[in-house]
Homo-oligomer: A and B are copies of this chain.
Amino acid sequence: MDSYKGLGMITEVFSEENRDSLHGNIGLGHVRYSAAEKESRQDVQPLVINYIKGTLILANNGNLTNGRELKEELARTGAIFQTEADSEVVAYHIARERLNTRNAEEAVRNAMTKIHGAYSMVIASPRKMIGARDPFGFRPLCIGKRDNTYIFASETCALDAVGAEFVRDVLPGEIVTVTKEGMSSDTTLCGNQIRKCIFEYIYFARPDSYIDGISVYNSRIMAGKILAQMHPAKADIVVGVPDSGNAAAMGYAEETGIPYGTAFVKNGYVGRTFIKPKQSARESSVKIKLNVMKEVIKDKRVIMVDDSIVRGTTSEHIVRMLKSAGAKEVHVRISSPPFLYPCYFGTDVPSCDQLITYNNTIEQICKLIDADSLGFLDGERLHEMIGGDTGYCDACFSGNYPVEPPKEE
A281 lies within 8 A of chain B by Cβ: no
Docked-complex contact B218 and A295, CB < 8 angstroms:
yes
Chain B residue at smallest Cβ distance from A219: B295
A164 lies within 8 A of chain B by Cβ: no
CB-defined contacts of A10 to chain B, threshold 8 Å: 269
CB-defined contacts of A75 to chain B, threshold 8 Å: 50-52, 95
| Other-chain residue from B41, B49, B78, B265 in contact with A80 (beta carbon distance below 8 A) | B49
CB-defined contacts of A250 to chain B, threshold 8 Å: 261-262
Chain B residue at smallest Cβ distance from A76: B52
A397 lies within 8 A of chain B by Cβ: no
CB-defined contacts of A3 to chain B, threshold 8 Å: 40
* B-contact bits for A44-59, CB 8 A (1 contact / 0 none): 0001111110001000
* Nearest CB in chain B: distance from A8 CB, A: 11
Q: Tell me which residues from 50 to 109 in chain A have a Cβ below 8 Å from any Cβ of chain B.
A: 50-52, 56, 75-82, 88, 91-92, 95-96, 98-99
Docked-complex contact A291 and B51, CB < 8 angstroms:
no
Task: Name which of A41, A79, A88, A218 has the most chain B CB atoms within 10 A of its CB.
Answer: A79
Chain B residue at smallest Cβ distance from A265: B208
Chain B residue at smallest Cβ distance from A275: B269
CB-defined contacts of A11 to chain B, threshold 8 Å: 269, 272
Q: Given the known inter-chain contacts A75-B51, A246-B262, A268-B271, please indicate yes or no for A208 contacting B293, CB distance below 8 A.
A: yes
A292 lies within 8 A of chain B by Cβ: yes
Chain B residue at smallest Cβ distance from A99: B78
What CA separation (Å) do A268 and B217 show in the bound complex?
Answer: 17
Chain B residue at smallest Cβ distance from A9: B269
CB-defined contacts of A9 to chain B, threshold 8 Å: 269
* B-contact bits for A264-286, CB 8 A (1 contact / 0 none): 01011101101000000000000
CB-defined contacts of A215 to chain B, threshold 8 Å: 293-295
| Other-chain residue from B49, B77, B98 in contact with A81 (beta carbon distance below 8 A) | B49
A207 lies within 8 A of chain B by Cβ: yes
Interface size class on chain A is 35 or more
Task: Name which of A82, A92, A274 has the most chain B CB atoms within 10 A of its CB.
Answer: A82
Copies in the complex: 4
Docked-complex contact A161 and B79, CB < 8 angstroms:
no
What CA separation (Å) do A295 and B291 show in the bound complex?
Answer: 29
What CA separation (Å) do A269 and B79 show in the bound complex?
Answer: 39
Task: Name which of A81, A98, A218, A261 has the most chain B CB atoms within 10 A of its CB.
Answer: A81
What CA separation (Å) do A42 and B260 show in the bound complex?
Answer: 47
What CA separation (Å) do A131 and B268 show in the bound complex?
Answer: 27
* Nearest CB in chain B: distance from A244 CB, A: 11
| Other-chain residue from B42, B78, B91, B292 in contact with A96 (beta carbon distance below 8 A) | B78
* B-contact bits for A143-173, CB 8 A (1 contact / 0 none): 0000000000000010011000000000000
A206 lies within 8 A of chain B by Cβ: yes
Docked-complex contact B99 and A80, CB < 8 angstroms:
no
CB-defined contacts of A77 to chain B, threshold 8 Å: 96, 99
What CA separation (Å) do A7 and B3 show in the bound complex?
Answer: 15
A26 lies within 8 A of chain B by Cβ: no
A296 lies within 8 A of chain B by Cβ: yes
CB-defined contacts of A261 to chain B, threshold 8 Å: 250
Q: Given the known inter-chain contacts A51-B79, A52-B75, A78-B92, please indicate yes or no for A208 contacting B292, CB distance below 8 A.
A: yes
Nearest first, the 4 closest Cβ-Cβ pairs linking A and B are: A78-B96, A52-B75, A50-B81, A49-B80
Q: Tell me the A residues contacting B by CB distance below 8 Å.
A: 3, 9-11, 40-42, 47-52, 56, 75-82, 88, 91-92, 95-96, 98-99, 157, 160-161, 206-208, 215, 217-218, 243, 246-247, 250, 260-262, 265, 267-269, 271-272, 274, 291-296
6 A-B interface contacts by CB (under 8 A): A11-B269, A11-B272, A49-B80, A215-B295, A246-B262, A247-B262
